[in-house]
């Protein structure tokens, strides 16, 4: 068959073919998928270096467990099936949390020195998590995740031999799936119910619309992600969160306790005879995550009999807005760790509203088994309850805080004498780092519960803190006599090292364990004998990246135009000194809010810390560029201050620009930076900062923003430290949103974002819409969406590609030539 056409048809055909070609080209551009790239080898090997093992001390303080982390996981692991429901992310194959960090190997060592034992008997390439010493220190419990389930294993710490203790699969969808009993002979575990059948399938034909309704009453809520959205989500939630509580012995005998239900926890009492059980139940919410779902709180015996019903907390959708808002009625239940079986809980006395006037905000109650008598009020608190640390009948510490004033108080009480007056031990502003007294150190008692570490006949406690000071952080260990208030300094880190206490081995002999590091030596563990000043090295972890030796490090101080002192850590590439001239610089920062300029001016950091480059840390994208020829001003402080009745964000943009200007001015005056070759970069709120600085100043040549939020109207009920809603302060929301000022951005911006970001407020659509706005105004911008990644980036391919993007972008817009 011959095909002929007139000459008049050829122009029409040509136009049609041209139109099709253009459309296909546009489609290819829109759908162009680039393969993962890797940065230069020197960067690639840098972030591939192994991390130092993490240490866990045994209850008897005779042995240490060292836990080694695996190399970065691959994108194939993140590509596994994942359910995102009720604020949780679940692997439906294993019935555990997806994206959970894990360890790959375990080693036991005597504290006093001697032969180390590598834990054996585990499956090949194990994924180890939820590691817990038994109260007597003779065993370790751990969860091992395989391809299709999570199993419970026990390690004999004398031989280092591991064995699977039961065939039942653990249910790790909610949290830690087991707890030791105090006798060290058994464990209470949450398991997947046997014979539960297949997961509910979603019908392609809906039964009806999804309806939400509010019949009165304010129900403000911050912007959450991964919420329930349909009846099918509810069915999946029921299926994967339902557990069976079991008692399993070391010999593997399994006894069911109660019936399957959605258990948030089943926590044994310190004496091991009862369980504190929290059961999540309907009605569920499409507005808030699982931790605000209704839950029944009960005490059971080990046979599943309900001994005491504590409360049935309702759905928490209608809480007052603001930091410190809590539900009315009993909340925050726990066991008094120094008692056999005594419950404690908190009840708000101000309607749960932090803005309400009230002399007493919270009241702490206690109730002792067998719960036949009435409960008793233990202490009235003028600020919102934060946490309690139990020690003995003679001493417990109750800590409170208030967001609006940044105030925190700690009260000492005598549980054995509840009518005795509480003693105010600490009363300070928690944003004031210089006045931080430290955190009370604890120990594990004979029941395996954490209690206060005390001395001098239980009259003193031991406080370990970062030791913030004008010369930088200098960690310390103090002994504080609660009765007299006298404080004795037992240890303080001395230059040129950064050394922090991690445990007290012997109170009477003043023997402690510390983690010690310098600029050139990575952290290692030491035993310190405080009475004679001697020290013994426990570990000798080698330098993980010798190619970074010779990096210039300096903690620097400079001043903002309004007089506020600022700090940062200046890093220059190996072999480069400040006197060697200017190099392209990266400023990495994260803004923070303060109520006082005094706190905002305090020094943060230490000049003696080892340079860590963790592959999954967001700041690695900046620090790894040191070996690529860039300098870094790390953690440059960007304080946003609102004193007295003013709120920090009232002048957010002005203060942000002033801090950034001061940082660049300082580096230029020092001669380490060329004003035209400085980049600004940050992650999350640091990305928000980056976009704002490009929109409202011309200080930087380019910017790199990772996983940020750019339109605050998408987080209308507050964000970061902002309590006011969009409707209360629309001008603030508008002024602080770089999306609203996209037309002002005239510097190149690289944006990266995980496609599965679950952080509150930083929806992936934030970056997509900001990119569209910038592109629409002709800005130079590149958007990189990383498949399967959450708020932080975990897969090796994603990390490497992010570093490639960063190096390429900086080479093009700071050095002036793309490589």
- Is 608 in the active site? no
Omega into 496 within 30° of 0, i.e. cis?
yes
| Residue 151 CB contacts under 8 Å (≥ 6 apart), including other chains | 143, 144, 164, 166, 167, 169, 170
List all residues 6 or more positions away from 208 whose beta carbon is below 8 Å from its beta carbon: none
Query: How many other C-beta atoms can be found within 10 angstroms of the C-beta atom of residue 534?
Result: 10
Distance (Å, rounded) from C-alpha 440 to C-alpha 708? Answer: 36
Tokens 């960090």 found at: 101
Instruction: Give the integer Cα–Cα distance in Å for 499 and 608.
Output: 9
Handedness of CA 573, 575, 578, 583 (dihedral sign): negative
Contact present, 240 and 228 (Cβ < 8 Å): no
* Strand ordering across the sheet containing 330-335: 330-335, 342-348, 362-368, 376-381
Cβ neighbours of residue 92 closer than 8 Å, sequence gap 6 or more: 81, 82, 83, 199, 240
Query: Is 243 a residue of the active site?
Result: no
Report CA-CA distances (Å) from 778 to 700, 744, 773: 18, 11, 9
C-beta of residue 248 within 8 angstroms of C-beta of residue 186: yes
- Residue 43 to residue 369: CA distance in whole angstroms: 59
Collapse the DSSP code of 625 into the 3-class scheme (helix H, G, I; strand E, B; otherwise coil) and give the result: helix
410-417 own/partner pairs: CB under 8 Å, 24+ apart: 411/379, 411/381, 412/482, 413/378, 413/379, 415/336, 415/338, 415/339, 415/366, 415/378, 415/390, 416/392, 417/393
CA dihedral 56, 58, 64, 65 (to 10 degrees): -50
| Contact between residue 322 and residue 218 where contact means Cβ atoms under 8 Å apart | no
Q: Which two tokens stand for residue 138?
A: 């003779």
Spatial separation of the C-alpha atoms in residues 223 and 761, rounded to whole Å: 6
Give CA–CA dist 673/651, Å, rounded: 28
Residue 78, both tokens: 């993140």
Task: Measure the CA–CA gap between 38 and 32, rounded to whole angstroms.
Answer: 18
Cβ-Cβ contacts under 8 Å for 307 (sequence gap 6 or more): 274, 298, 299, 300, 301, 369, 370, 371
Output phi, psi for 747, to 5 deg: -115, 150
How far is Cα 118 from Cα 106, in angstroms, rounded to an integer?
6
In the set 247, 683, 791, 801, the catalytic residue is: 791
Considering only CA atoms, which of 74, 58, 76 is closest in space to residue 66? Answer: 58
Q: Are the C-beta atoms of 216 and 257 separated by less than 8 Å?
A: no
**How many whole angstroms separate alpha carbon 42 and alpha carbon 628?**
8
Task: Give me the catalytic one of 757, 790, 798, 801.
Answer: 757
Please measure the distance between the N-terminal and C-terminal CA atoms of the chain and give it in whole angstroms. Answer: 55
Query: In the annotation, is 543 catalytic?
Result: no
Which of 290, 267, 94, 89 shows the shortest CA–CA distance to 187? 267
100: three-class secondary structure by DSSP: coil
List beta partners, residue 489.
Answer: 478
Catalytic annotation, pick one of 243, 684, 697, 707: 684
- DSSP, collapsed to helix, strand or coil, labels residue 464 as strand
For helices 652-670 and 685-696, what crossing angle results, to 10°?
A: 80
Residues identified as active-site: 684, 757, 791
């Amino acid at each position: 068959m011959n095909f002929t056409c007139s000459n008049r048809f050829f122009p029409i055909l040509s136009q049609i073919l041209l139109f099709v070609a253009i459309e296909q080209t546009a489609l290819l551009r829109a759908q162009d998928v680039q393969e993962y790239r890797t940065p230069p080898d020197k960067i690639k090997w840098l972030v591939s270096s192994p991390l130092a093992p993490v240490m866990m001390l045994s209850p008897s303080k005779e042995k240490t467990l060292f836990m080694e982390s695996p190399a970065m996981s691959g994108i194939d692991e993140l590509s596994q099936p994942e359910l995102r429901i009720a604020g949780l992310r679940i692997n439906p194959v294993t019935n555990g949390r997806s994206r959970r960090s894990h360890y790959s190997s375990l080693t036991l060592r005597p504290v006093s020195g001697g032969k180390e034992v590598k834990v054996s008997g585990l499956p090949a390439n194990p994924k180890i998590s939820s590691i817990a010493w038994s109260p007597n220190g003779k065993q370790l419990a751990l969860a091992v995740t395989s391809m299709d389930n999570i199993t419970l294993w026990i390690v004999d710490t004398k031989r280092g031999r591991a064995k699977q203790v039961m065939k039942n699969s653990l249910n790790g969808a909610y949290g830690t799936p087991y707890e030791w009993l105090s006798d060290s002979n058994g464990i209470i575990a949450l398991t997947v119910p046997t014979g539960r059948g297949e997961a509910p399938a979603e019908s392609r034909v809906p039964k009806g619309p999804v309806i939400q309704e509010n019949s009165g009453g304010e129900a403000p809520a911050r912007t959450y992600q991964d919420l329930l959205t349909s009846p099918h989500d509810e069915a999946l939630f029921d299926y994967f969160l339902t557990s069976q509580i079991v008692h399993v012995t070391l010999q593997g005998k399994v006894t069911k306790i109660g019936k399957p239900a959605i258990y948030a926890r089943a926590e044994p009492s310190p004496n091991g005879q009862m369980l504190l059980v929290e059961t999540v139940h309907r009605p569920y919410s499409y507005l808030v995550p699982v931790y605000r779902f209704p839950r029944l709180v009960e005490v059971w015996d080990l046979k599943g009999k309900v001994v005491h019903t504590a409360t049935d907390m309702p759905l928490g959708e209608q809480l007052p807005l603001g930091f410190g808002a809590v539900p009315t009625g009993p909340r925050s239940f726990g066991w008094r760790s120094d008692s056999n079986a005594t419950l404690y809980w908190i009840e708000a006395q101000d309607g749960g509203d932090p803005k309400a006037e009230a002399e007493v905000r919270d009241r702490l109650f206690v109730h002792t088994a067998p719960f036949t008598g009435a409960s008793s009020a233990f202490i009235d608190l003028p600020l919102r309850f934060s946490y309690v640390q139990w020690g003995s009948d003679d001493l417990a510490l109750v800590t409170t805080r208030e967001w609006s004033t940044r105030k925190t108080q700690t009260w000492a009480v005598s549980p054995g004498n509840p009518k005795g007056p509480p003693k105010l031990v600490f009363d300070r502003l928690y944003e004031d780092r210089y006045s931080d007294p430290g955190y009370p150190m604890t120990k594990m008692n004979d029941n395996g519960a954490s209690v206060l570490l005390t001395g001098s006949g239980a009259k003193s406690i031991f406080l370990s803190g970062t030791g913030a000071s004008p010369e930088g952080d200098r960690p310390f260990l103090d002994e504080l006599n609660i009765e007299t208030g006298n404080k004795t300094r037992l240890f303080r880190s001395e230059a040129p090292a950064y050394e922090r206490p991690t445990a007290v081995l012997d109170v009477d002999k003043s023997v402690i364990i510390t983690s010690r590091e310098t600029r050139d030596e990575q952290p290692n563990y030491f035993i310190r004998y405080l009475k004679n000043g001697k020290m013994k090295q426990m570990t000798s972890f080698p330098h993980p990246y010798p190619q970074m030796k010779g990096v210039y490090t300096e903690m620097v101080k400079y001043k903002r135009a309004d007089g506020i002192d600022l700090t940062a850590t200046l890093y220059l590439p190996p072999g480069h000194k400040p006197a060697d001239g200017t190099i392209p610089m990266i400023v990495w920062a994260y803004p923070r809010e303060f109520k006082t300029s005094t706190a905002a001016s305090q020094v943060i950091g230490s000049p003696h810390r080892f340079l860590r480059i963790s592959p999954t840390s967001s700041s690695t994208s900046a620090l790894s560029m040191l070996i690529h020829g860039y300098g870094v001003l790390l953690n440059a402080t960007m304080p946003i201050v609102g004193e007295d009745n003013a709120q920090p964000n009232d002048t957010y943009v002005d203060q942000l620009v002033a801090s950034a200007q001061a940082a660049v001015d300082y580096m230029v005056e020092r001669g380490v930076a060329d004003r035209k070759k400085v980049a600004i970069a940050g992650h999350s709120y640091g990305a928000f900062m980056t976009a704002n600085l490009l929109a409202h100043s011309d200080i930087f040549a380019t910017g790199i923003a990772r996983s940020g939020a750019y339109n605050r109207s998408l987080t209308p009920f507050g964000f970061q430290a902002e309590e006011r809603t969009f409707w209360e302060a629309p001008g603030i929301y508008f002024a602080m949103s770089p999306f609203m000022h996209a037309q002002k951005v005239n510097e190149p911006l690289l944006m990266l974002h995980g496609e599965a970001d679950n952080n509150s407020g930083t929806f992936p659509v934030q970056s997509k819409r900001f990119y569209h706005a910038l592109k629409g105004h002709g800005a130079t911008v590149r958007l990189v969406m990383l498949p399967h990644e959450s708020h932080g980036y975990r897969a090796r391919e994603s990390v490497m590609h992010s570093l490639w993007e960063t190096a390429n972008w900086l080479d093009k817009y700071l050095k002036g030539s793309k490589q």
